Structure 1
Amino acid sequence: MIELVDIHKNFHLNREEIPILKNINIKINDGEFVAIMGPSGSGKSTLMNIIGCLDRPSSGSYMLNEQEISTFNDEQLAQIRNKHIGFVFQQFQLLPRLSAVDNVELPMIYAGFSRKERRKRAEIALQKVGLSERINHLPNELSGGQKQRVAIARAIVNEPSLILADEPTGALDTKTSDTIMKQFAQLHQAGTTIILITHELEVSEYASRTITVRDGEILNLNNKENLTI
């Protein structure tokens, strides 16, 4: 479970302290599919970075899987990211000179898997996202939707308990976006906790709950009765 209590985040500009997040209190249960929405500059990306252990809060408590994350050092945060969190980004973040399967293998290199085990797990992950026939293709040989599916395969290959997706459909057309969101819905149905950052209402409809952020504060913690499939 994720629990943020009285989280504040301040940035320093020259000699001025700028508040980015103010008094954030959120609980996200295991297996939830949550969308975080807000306009540009609302603080939603900063909130995602804290949840994803890419940044630390200025104050407050962050509990992830019953561990107090806000006190961890850089090495401990890196271990948490590698073992427990999968990331999917708007611009895919694939290495252009590596094939699809080699890109998917990357998180397992840092996790210490053997080459044989890495290849086996990467091929299974790509099969799950429907790219078995594209495993040896380079990113420039793939469509935008296929690149994002490679990114999803890379995110799930270490079997993380949490997937963070930052505007994962922002670079895709409507039809391809729908395909990608159905992949996230399937991962959610399989028990993975998913937190999705988006500004698109249509995308947020796939989540079972929407958290709205504005001016660094939580406006609502909306619950929905139905999940779009």
Structure 2
Amino acid sequence: MIELIGITKSYQIGKESIDILKNIHLEINDGEFVAIMGPSGSGKSTLMNIIGCLDRPTSGTYLFDGEDISTYKDQQLAKIRNVAIGFVFQQFQLLPRLNALKNVELPMIYAGIGKKEREQRAKEALEKVGLSDRMHHMPNELSGGQKQRVAIARAIVNHPKLILADEPTGALDTKTSFAIMEQFTELNQEGTTVVVVTHEQEVADYAKRVIFVRDGMITNVETGGEGDIHESY
């Protein structure tokens, strides 16, 4: 599904060029569950942003489903983000003045889906994550775990091929983190490709492959524990 070939990312600060990613080569297959690990400043979040079409590489080639999207215009990348990729963030990114149902509907508004279908699909997504009784609650009426479940429902409502999660358990307690990772596991078992950026080994243990990033380079790739986290929690 994803192939990164010689990807670099640099920023110009004054006269100095700072390399964030250096000659990244990476393949992620359809249906995989992959974790990206690395210390703060390693480049892992920049790598995720490029995979998610939120940022552009300075050089290199990005193939998504066999299509070279390296030179896509902003509007083309926005369509991929909306239709093919679902995002889950550490701080949930819910709109505070919209209830859970309306928050989940948002990606479908951008996709031009009609009101009746939006509402039906949003309800189904919330039911899938176990929040059928919280649809009309505002974000400030939900626990951290419930907010993250709303975020997951929003991420899956357009039936994306890929879910990208950036530190999805970082703001949650251990028990809730376990439940959220179980949710990602279930989605992956249903065929969705899942990529999780994390600094927590317990979270990475859910993945079937763990990619280690340090100083802007992939330093190691390991087969994940595929469930070892269940015992450590």
Fold conserved (TM > 0.5)? yes
Cα separation, 2, equivalents of 1:194 and 1:108: 21
> Which residue in 1 is equivalent to 2:221?
221
- Residue type of the partner of 1:27? E
Cα separation, 2, equivalents of 1:103 and 1:221: 36
Unaligned runs of 5+ in 2: none
Cα separation, 2, equivalents of 1:178 and 1:94: 21
Alignment of 1:3-42 (within 5 A): 3-42=3-42
| Native 8 Å contact 2:205 2:225 kept in 1 | no
State the SS of the aligned residue for 1:112: coil
Query: How many corresponding residue pairs?
Result: 229
Alignment of 1:79-228 (within 5 A): 79-224=79-224, 226-228=226-228
The TM-score with structure 2 as length reference comes to 0.97
Shift of 1:192: 0.3
State the SS of the aligned residue for 1:133: coil
Cα separation, 1, equivalents of 2:224 and 2:156: 26
State the SS of the aligned residue for 2:83: helix
Cα separation, 2, equivalents of 1:42 and 1:225: 23
Cα separation, 2, equivalents of 1:18 and 1:167: 24
Cα separation, 1, equivalents of 2:220 and 2:63: 21
Alignment of 1:42-81 (within 5 A): 42-81=42-81
Residue by residue over 1:66-125, the C-alpha shift from the partner in whole angstroms, topping out at 9 and shown as x without a partner, is: 111111111110001001000000000000000000000000000010000000000000
State the SS of the aligned residue for 2:82: helix
Q: Residues 225, 45 of structure 1: CA spacing in aligned structure 2 closer, same or farther, 3 A cutoff?
A: closer
Displaced runs of 4 or more, over 3 A = 224-229
State the SS of the aligned residue for 1:9: strand
- Residue type of the partner of 1:119? E
Cα separation, 1, equivalents of 2:139 and 2:162: 25
State the SS of the aligned residue for 2:102: helix
Shift of 1:227: 4.2
Residue by residue over 1:155-179, the C-alpha shift from the partner in whole angstroms, topping out at 9 and shown as x without a partner, is: 0000000000000000000000000
Q: Say what the alpha-carbon RMSD is for the aligned residues.
A: 0.9
Shift of 1:222: 1.2
Cα separation, 1, equivalents of 2:226 and 2:168: 22
Identical aligned residues as a percent: 68
Cα separation, 1, equivalents of 2:189 and 2:96: 32
Shift of 1:14: 1.4
Query: After alignment, is 14-23 or 92-101 more displaced?
Result: 14-23
| Native 8 Å contact 2:205 2:226 kept in 1 | no
Unaligned runs of 5+ in 1: none
